[in-house]
Structure 1
Amino acid sequence: MNRQKTQLPLRPAVSRAAKQPCVFFARGHCRNGSSCSFSHDSTSGSATANPSTTDTNSRSVTKDATSTAPKAICHFYLKGACLKGAGCTFAHPTCGANPTPTVGSEAAPFGDDLVSGNDGSEDKHDDWTRQLGGGVIQFGDGAVVLKASLQSDFSAVRISQLPANSTPDTISQLLGGLGFTIAVDKIRLAPNLDPAHRVADVRVEDPTFAKRFIGVVDSQKGVSENNIRVIPISAPMPGGSGMHRVECKKVLCSWYRPFMTAWLNFTSSGLAEEIHKRYTSGRYKVLNMQVTSHPPKRSKAWTTVMLTEVPAEATESDITKPIPQNMSPRNVETGTPSFQYNAVVANALVKSKLMEVGPLEWWEDAVFGGKRAKAKARFQDDGDAAKAASLLNNWDLPFHKKGKLTVQAIYSARFKVQERIYQAIRPIINEHSTTWQAKKVYLAAYEPPRYSLLRVLRFEGEDNKAVAEAKRILEQILDGHLATDKGKPIWSPAFTVNGEVFQKIKEIEQLFGIVVIRNRKLSRVFLFGSKDKCEEAETRLAMIAQQDASTRNVIKLDPVQFAWACRGGFKSITEILGRKATFDIVSDPRQIVVTGSEADVKLANDMVKAQKEPSESPDAKQQDCSICWMEPENPITTDCGHTYCSDCFEQLCASAASSGKTDFKLQCEGDSSKCKEAFCLDFLQDHLSSQLFEDTLEASFNSYVSHRPDSLHYCPTPDCGQIYRAATGTFTCPNCLAPVCTTCYASHQGMTCADHKFVSSGGDIALKEVKERLGIKDCPKCKTAMEKTEGCDHMTCGGCGAHLCWKCLKTFGTSNECYAHMNRAHGGIGFHVPDEARW
């Protein structure tokens, strides 16, 4: 190994005052944009700081500096491609700071790399598609269904014997020459196993495409110069996104970085021994990475400390930077790197190999972390990550003869939960974290964005079963504890409104540090917090429910009364009854709900009937909840400027899900239900828990299917849930494999529609009862009905001619066989006649 000897120069310390640079911007993927609290200026510096808290890897600061200041991050260095080395005017850290909560462990191959991002939005992009009923459903604003795509809507072909240099663009041009206009994103190249040819799969949302395309190719054989081969294949469904499901889209790729050896020459053997100890203990590091220090060796001129596994990009100043000036070596020698490395080329090669497996949603260039370069990628389609790991793990690296690529598929599941619920269940989650991490499953809880009431939780791990099990446990925790008293759910009509009883519930929350959720739809109370605190709160809630003697009374409003209530009539009622009265403008018809005594109900009824105009018009500027018309609890403000209680907003969405309306759409009920602006999906996702959001989309989908009986139907098999398009012929369910008649929408293999209708209506049961009463039996071979009026038990079918025993209906080829059977099995032929008489 070549050794280069360099005398260390001394440089003055650098101090520049500016905003701290954004590491994610330097890496090219800061998602906070102009709202980022860090600097996006490539020339900006950072305020002077204490050396112990600043970037210890900046190459422009020497070991004798008494104070240092971190500089803007070098974008090229993060990719391993900075050519300026120590002369670079930007900072050279080993990797960017990660504001993600610590979730990794030393046992994890990638440690904290499993979960990253500063707000859980690394894979936040949502195309608003979901896999429901065996199809891919596209949603739009208001949670309406825009499109339902089923597997029967697609067809696909596999094209082989393509030129080795084929790309999706050239294949698209080839298809265009054959009369088919196919977008590039519909073409996927298979992994290149044959260096002389390429294989591509083409999937199109057209059930006739495969048949038509194969026909065109077959017709041109021998005429065209194209020697491609085409076969039909099963059309894979496009993936749907969403939370509360385990998906496999992300991969982590790594490879060893190049290293070199360095020799530190000292004149004092004692000093060399001390420096050796400090490198060995990890007190001294090179570019924030621990290196291997070998025991000092004496020569005539020097005592030398040899360091191995030194990052190849490290300079002499990087190596000696942690050593105080009065202990610095006389000189430093460095060897040649273990291999020549171009990070830009390496990243491009690995990325291209991943893209052969499937299209990528994003790619993050490798940065150095420890002894390996680490890159991340996320595929567009679920399952491609597992395929990439299977095909590319241990792939021989072209830029390192002895190097192998490591590819790990990461399974993940995301949740969104109210921040107050998360804080209440956090101790329970922490109890399970040790078990999850032992199985290399890591949970990250990201800080809610500004003005958001929801927190994103995300599991990630290498084992899909372990991730699925952790997901199941977390779902149980998020379901909460059902409040019961003597085995019965605790509930009171007063729990439905934000009245006096609700204030007592809030006091219980504060007293025990738990969260109480009232599910008005189910008439249930759910508690979130530690088990002992929830049990204590249960006792208090049971007492409140027992003591409260109020009843829930509904005053339905006609259009005139509703208009009066909106003009200030309801305000007049609440001035007297307070929170005992609530305004429900979602129900049809609209109504005022009074939870109180009979006198309270009579007073509200009288005021509604009298419709006396209020002395003062209601304050239009007051931001009351658009549903209950009370001061909002945990207020949510819509894009159209209206305010809701968080509970009322969830009730609005849940009510729409169960309304059964043909035109399902979540709309704003502000301005006395006059607004009607559809809530955009981003707003719904940001302000609903992930479970309620997904339930709302599913309810919209169910409404969409149920109101289109002429085109969509569910598979009749119980608990199947697969949908199919109404057509002629027979549909075989891809989920349960049951054959379904698309004429009568029932499964009746081997029967006509009329026979199935007769059987399903109960007609066959009645017929069986009549046959049993009259003594009529069916031939077991041809089902011809027969009646025995006299004679022995030997019968001959008039339909198929079979000989059969009337007693047990066994069939025989001859009468003698039948008689022998009757004597042997039944002790006679059916009446008291000597056996010889029958002959």
Structure 2
Amino acid sequence: MEKETVRPAWRLATARESVRQRDKIPCVFYARGTCRNGETCPFAHGTISAPTASATASRNEEGRGFPPPVEQKDTRNQVPCRFHLRGNCLKGSSCPFSHSNTDGESSVAGHAAAVNLEEPEPETKPDSWVRELHGVAVHFGDGVVVRKTSFQSDFSAVRISMLPPGSDQASISKLLSKLGFGVLAESIRVSSLGDDTHPVADICVEDPFFAKRFCNAIAPRPGAGDRTAPSTIKAISINPPMAPGASFQRVECKKVLCSWYRPFKTVWLNFRQSKSVAQRVHDGFETKSYTICNQTVKTHGPIRTQFRNQQPWTVMLTGVPADASPMDVKDTIPWNLQPTHIELGRPSYICNPAEPKALVKVKLQEIGPLEWWDDAVTPGGKRVKVKARFQQDGDAATAAASLNGWTMTTPLIDGKPKLAVQALYTARFKVLDRIFKAVQTAIDAKSPSWLAKHVLFTPYEPSKANRYRVLRLEGEDKEAVAAAKQTLEGILSGQVATENDNVIWTPAFTVSGSVFQKLKDLEQALGIVILRDKRLSRLHLFGPVEKCKEAQVHLAKMAKEDTSTLNAIILNDEQFTWACLGGFKAMANILGEKVTFDIISKPKRLLVTGSDKDYRTALDMVSSLKKAEALTVGRERISEASDCVICWNEAENPISASCGHIYCADCFERFCFSGATSGNADFRLQCEGDSGRCKKDLTLAELQEHLSSQTFEEMLEASFEAYTRRRPDSIRNCPKPDCPRIYRASPPGSGLTFTCPDCLTSVCTSCHASHVGMTCAEHQDVVSGGYAALQEAKKRLGIKDCPKCKTPIEKTYGCNHMTCAGCGTHICWNCMATFQSGKQCYEHLSKAHGGFGDYGEEAFL
């Protein structure tokens, strides 16, 4: 009988402890994909070891020793196998690294996304349709109607400090309500300004007297009892901010780029071999031939260190991704240069990846409301990057000044990562794609100088349905972006065709006849773009300078050889109806493209570009009113829906309005400008389809889509200027010549003074004279002597002032119905009564004065 072997209990315990220890050690054969033991292997499968924080601290202090291992998730299956990408991986399905092609593609896409994060992108948020013009925030609506004007004098603002801790918009709004001030939460902006104990709030209200009333309400008064507001809060009056909307061709500071380092750690590579092996590994990381988790790292060494009574050579790696495992480090080093031991340091900080992003967003929202936020984390890269765009211009600069270098410390972030915030200045343009292609060489020549000043230029591909291309300039330096914007504007404006400083133009350039075809042939021959500005009678050339000079020679010759003239035939109501019912079409069948129908002008007219014979032919047709022929042709005209509703010819570069009517691109642009400058009392830009009967408001969105950015912004400015001209009683210009600022007039006796922020000129908003230190009455007494003499001279010469805008008017002949050239007001010369239309004025002259004046009533029937 075989003797039973009895083992001591301490030895069994030691064996069990040894097994438990081996469970925590990764199996090197499993990592290589060659372990044959499977589930019976005593070593760990699918786990890797990393040092604990305490052991790492001990290692950093003593320079030696190994920390006990802790379990960490194996992430190698997320890393593409470099041998599989080469097509020679021998491990097949047992390889721990990814063999999926999509993984590799995702890695490349992720890298591209990381690059694109720093590049500007087209805006997707609709325009707010607010513009700052002449110092006024102007709100536009469909039809390019000025809906509202907000002067800085209409607002007042206060800054409240020493608020209770934790105050937010809602709590401050309730506090103001208790004090008797109803202020919406949207009008309150809260910030800490470096003091988290007592927040500070800026309040801006559309009430010029709010700041004064509020400061008086919280001011301490002797003998006053307990007040509703906390006794500690303080308030001072500040300048109200102006918030213009986003637009093209303006330098804005709304976007910020925020970034911070991803968690990283230090790795020590110990080599028992000769120094040359350690040096070769160091050189591999130094030349960036070796990367860890697709990231380059910094290397230091090799140096001698004390390690288990030995002195191996150590290479230290810094900036290693925090989730890198020992296998990630080993896999990047050739097998014949493998280190004896790899030791991992503690991550620079530990947190949930979503925590820093949420914290940064909250800090940005404390500065101002955000228009959009992009926190898509891209794989790879040493820094996490997010972008945000504020609603108000200038908030990005405030964010960069207050948050750049801020340490992100919260209970959920174990460490102190620092935030980097960059304010980005942006200027956008929208131009015809063919113009961009013509001047692309000139832009490419300027791009390196812009890039040297860290201004990035990006052109975006136009959509298939759009003829326009969006261009963007973006950088951190406002002055550099503004300078690049000015240069780009000069390139995109092209060159006006001239000869000996005289503009080259002939009426034949306005029509699509044989001369126009010659322009197209010249464009194709020289590889340039020629645009006709019919409104200003100019040709704009786009392309290489030498080619444009050559084109000017040909254009000057074409203009000299052309003998055509431009004549206009004014249509009365009957003649206009005849033209709409087919008379124009009948005339076009005879004269071709020499005649155009201008329904924009008031009164309506036909334009004849040709010889005197052509003009007489058109004039005879209008005079004879061939109604039968007109009605016959009119029925044919109804089916031709592709014709332009302005010129009534086949649409050139057709544009379709939202109502379905077709315009020539050039006619559409001229139509928009004519509406803005027409001087109508109630201006609305409406579709002229169906012979002017459509009357659907053209939306700002479709106008912005079909017009270049320069044309669209100029149209808005022209509309606002027409708006101000029609309101001389309420809107005035700064009295200094050539100063563009305007101000709002106030009632007599208000005592308000406007000080121009551009030229610093002060003017009384009631009497519109500069009399600092005097009332309006006192000033009038001082100047009454000269004023009386002026009035006497006017009376002697028969000059009267417009009752509305005070423009001097002299009557030399004609009836007693006068129209002011300054504001368009209709005036009765007898009693200086004013009317909104000429018809009302004539009715008044008949009833009150017995006739129209010098001519007699029959002359106007």
Structure-1 residue corresponding to 2:250: 245
Preserved CA contact (<8 Å) 1:714 1:721: yes
Distance in 2, matches of 1:116 and 1:53, equals 35
Q: Secondary structure at the match of 1:554?
A: strand
Moved more, 578-587 or 327-336: 327-336
Q: Determine the structure 2 residue equivalent to 1:433.
A: 447
Change (3 A) 1:146 1:757: farther
Kindly provide the amino acid, as one letter, of the partner of residue 313 in structure 1.
Answer: D
**Equivalent in 747, 760, 777 of residue 770 of structure 2:** 747
1:353 shift after superposition: 2.4
Deviation, structure 1 residue 641: 0.9
Residues 194-213 of structure 1: matches in 2 within 5 Å? Answer: 194-213=195-214
State the alpha-carbon separation in 1 of the partners of residues 302 and 767 from structure 2.
89
Find 1:116's aligned residue among 116, 120, 134: 120
Query: Secondary structure at the residue paired with 1:740?
Result: strand
- 1:188 partner amino acid: R
Indicate how the Cα distance of structure 1 residues 175 and 532 shifts in structure 2: closer, same or farther if over 3 A, else same: same
Residue 264 of structure 2, aligned match among 255, 259, 268? 259
Q: 2:724 aligns with which of 705, 712, 717?
A: 705
Partner of 2:712: 693
CA shift digits 1:464-487 (9 cap, x unpaired): 111111111111112211111122
What corresponds to 2:568 in structure 1? 554
Secondary structure class of the residue paired with 1:69:
helix
Deviates more, 1:197-206 or 1:572-581: 572-581
Structure 1 residues 516 and 10 mapped into 2: Cα distance closer, same or farther (>3 Å)?
Answer: farther
1:168 corresponds to: 169
2:101 to 68, 74, 77: 68
Equivalent residue runs for 1:233-632 within 5 Å: 233-261=238-266, 279-292=285-298, 307-314=317-324, 334-365=344-375, 367=377, 370-398=381-409, 399=413, 403-608=417-622, 609-611=624-626, 612-613=629-630, 614-615=632-633, 617-632=636-651
- Kindly tell me: are residues 427 and 585 of structure 1, through their superposed partners in 2, closer, same or farther at Cα, counting changes over 3 Å? same
Aligned to 2:754: 732
Q: 1:554 to 1:67 in 2, by over 3 A?
A: same
* Contact persistence 1:583–1:627 (CA under 8 A): yes
More divergent stretch after superposition (599-608 vs 628-637): 599-608
Q: Distance in 2 between matches of 1:431 and 1:591?
A: 47
Q: How many Å separate the matches in 2 of 1:629 and 1:99? A: 50
**1:221-267 residue CA offsets vs partner (Å, 9 max, x unmatched):** 62436222233333222333322222222222222221134578999
Match for residue 226 of structure 1? Answer: 230
Distance 2:225 2:247 in 1: 45
Contact 1:61–1:68 under 8 Å retained in 2? no
Separation in 1, partners of 2:710, 2:244: 19
Cα distance in 2, alignment partners of residues 304 and 310 from structure 1: 16
Going from structure 1 to structure 2, the CA distance change for 1:320 and 1:508 (only over 3 Å counts) comes to farther
Unpaired runs of 5+ in structure 2?
Answer: 1-23, 35-82, 88-92, 795-861
Paired residues in the alignment total 693
**Could you tell me whether the CA contact under 8 Å between 1:5 and 1:332 is conserved in 2?**
no
- 428 and 575 in structure 1: CA distance in 2 versus 1, 3 angstrom threshold: same
Q: CA–CA distance in 2 between the matches of 1:544 and 1:155?
A: 60
1 CA distance for matches of 2:719 and 2:437?
Answer: 31
- Following superposition, the deviation at residue 488 of structure 1 comes to 0.9
- Output aligned runs, 1:67-106, within 5 Å: 68-70=101-103, 97=113
Q: Which moved more, 1:448-457 or 1:291-300?
A: 291-300
SS at match of 1:752: helix
Which residue matches 1:32?
none
Mean Cα displacement is larger for which, 580-589 or 723-732? 723-732
Other structure's SS at 1:458 match: strand
CA contact (8 A) 1:637 1:643 kept: yes
Tell me by how many angstroms 1:405 deviates: 2.3
Q: Deviations over 1:779-836 (max 9, x none)?
A: xxxxxxxxxxxxxxxxxxxxxxxxxxxxxxxxxxxxxxxxxxxxxxxxxxxxxxxxxx
Contact persistence 1:444–1:457 (CA under 8 A): yes
Distance 1:215 1:404 in 2: 43
- Alpha-carbon distance between aligned partners in 1 of 2:282 and 2:668, rounded to the nearest angstrom: 65
Report the Cα distance in structure 2 between the residues aligned to 1:61 and 1:185, rounded to whole angstroms: 60
Matched, 1:653 2:672: yes
Q: What amino acid is the match of 2:745?
A: A
Aligned to 1:46: none
Name which of structure 1's ranges 579-588 and 756-765 shifts more when overlaid on structure 2: 756-765
- For 2:369, the aligned partner's letter is P
Write the deviation string for residues 186-243 of structure 1: whole angstroms up to 9, x where unpaired. Answer: 1111334334322211111112322333344347762436222233333222333322
1:319 positional shift: 5.8
* Range moving further from structure 2, 206-215 or 744-753: 744-753
Match of 1:797 in 2: none
Identical-pair percentage: 48
User: What letter corresponds to residue 372 of structure 1 in structure 2?
Assistant: R
Structure 2 length-normalised TM: 0.73
What is the TM-score when the length of structure 1 is the normalising length? 0.74
Once residues 128 and 361 of structure 1 are traced to their aligned partners in structure 2, the CA distance between those partners, rounded to angstroms, is 15
Q: Deviations over 1:668-712 (max 9, x none)?
A: 112222112111111111221111111111111112222122322
Counterpart secondary structure, 1:148: strand
Query: What one-letter code is carried by the residue in structure 2 that aligns with 1:116?
Result: P
- 2:133 is aligned with 1:132: yes
Taking the aligned partners of 1:731 and 1:470, their CA distance within structure 2 comes to 38
Query: Counterparts of 1:214 and 1:364 in 2: how far apart (Å)?
Result: 40
Question: Is the contact made by 1:5 and 1:334 (CA closer than 8 Å) also made in structure 2?
Answer: no
**CA 169–730 in structure 1, closer or farther in 2 if over 3 Å, else same:** closer
User: Secondary structure of the residue that 1:721 maps to in structure 2?
Assistant: coil
Q: Deviations over 1:93-141 (max 9, x none)?
A: 75562796xxxxxxxxxxx71x322xx216x542111111222111111
- Tell me the amino acid that sits aligned with residue 610 of structure 1: L
1:698 partner amino acid: E
1-structure distance, mates of 2:661, 2:647: 13
Q: Secondary structure at the match of 1:522?
A: coil
Distance 1:135 1:532 in 2: 43
Change (3 A) 1:63 1:547: farther
Conserved 8 A contact 1:625-1:632:
yes
Measure the CA separation in 1 of the matches of 2:784 and 2:675: 35
Cα-to-partner distance string for 1:589-611 (whole Å, 9 max, x where unaligned): 22221211222222222333333
The structure with the greater share of residues assigned to helix is: 2
Q: How does 1:146-161 map to 2 (within 5 A)?
A: 146-161=147-162
Deviation of residue 341 (structure 1)? 3.2
Kept after mapping to 1: 8 A contact 2:164/2:198: yes
How much does 1:318 deviate? Answer: 6.2
Aligned equivalents of 2:84 and 2:645: distance in 1? 55
**254 and 587 in structure 1: CA distance in 2 versus 1, 3 angstrom threshold:** same
Specify every segment of 5 or more residues in structure 1 that has no aligned partner in the other structure, as ranges: 13-49, 55-59, 74-90, 101-111, 768-839
> How big is the alpha-carbon RMSD for the aligned residues of Structure 1 and Structure 2?
3.9
Answer whether contact 2:439 2:543 (CA < 8 A) is retained.
yes
